[in-house]
Structure 1
């Protein structure tokens, strides 16, 4: 698919090619009209002659062949060294006489580029526990907080006013002991289910 700023969309390419092939315009004049180069205009005209309107569509830029692609036998040796001995890309590269970047690229394609996903002792993939249904395993965390008196504590309103608020709150809640106001603490309980967490 053409990008938004493409000079020639498939429809414009077809009009350009028809001008050159069917109406016998010169490639230079047609290219000037469509604000492109004469070699580009000749390319689209040649493609129109061979393939017709279907040749005006975008093609993949993927190469037909990759002569420098790592051979499959070498890929197997890299993967084998990684799984059997858990060597890093630099160690494998030195052993096989390859660039480190090539070994790393092969490991990324094979999705074994991180040793943290492999148990170092057994070489097996690390398996995380998962529980099959909600409530089969939960994590409970309890946090203790000091209660804040009604109207704000001493840090917010000052020492004198804070003490008054503390005494008033203690009287309201019934938490006075031997003349000292005690407003108590609060506990926040957090429960996380393993299945959803």
Structure 2
């Protein structure tokens, strides 16, 4: 295929044929056009064999590809993305391919990126808010993101995910409240080290105790100093973390109201927890999900 630095385009090849028909010697054509005599001879011989059609660009794709991924593996890659909405790396690990090969297969079959799919239904999202400005702090501990994700508890015997919406509604004991679990998470901006706990509420005391344990966890993994903590504007974060932050020399930062993307790294981690753990498969009890290996 022609590229921007190519010596010859289809028009240049036709000029070679025109000059050859005018009686130019191949050596003179090559010198005038800055190409080799071998190149000139190739285009002349191709013109003799195929006419003007032989001067057009041809695909550089090889006639055979002995090492190409088999159709069976390609179908398995597509099935895993479609049925389980797995990431490229997870598909590659399961199938035994390189992540780059799995990515090429997905692109070849026009499979959309996971970011364009609804995490629950798998349907393509027609529009979503994305940002073109990406950043990463210079070193671990410079900034950490904190948030809470509320998940509905699973009744004993399984909920609608296991039995379908109609079946789950019939089996559910309406007199018994199921309630919620609260997944607290802390994510380092630079290294993406994350720490999460499933707790019973999101009260101020609970948030403060979680932060203390998260600081210890980060220290055990090499992040001994946390400089800044960014959260949303929840009351528990604004008022209950002051003591912990002051004790450890952490400066608190808050996102602008109604702008959750400013805390996007932990928000994206919450979504990963949903797709890779909380809603990955049906669970028969809430305990089974909370203590999954």
TM (norm. structure 1) is 0.49
TM (norm. structure 2) is 0.35
User: Whose Rg is larger?
Assistant: 1
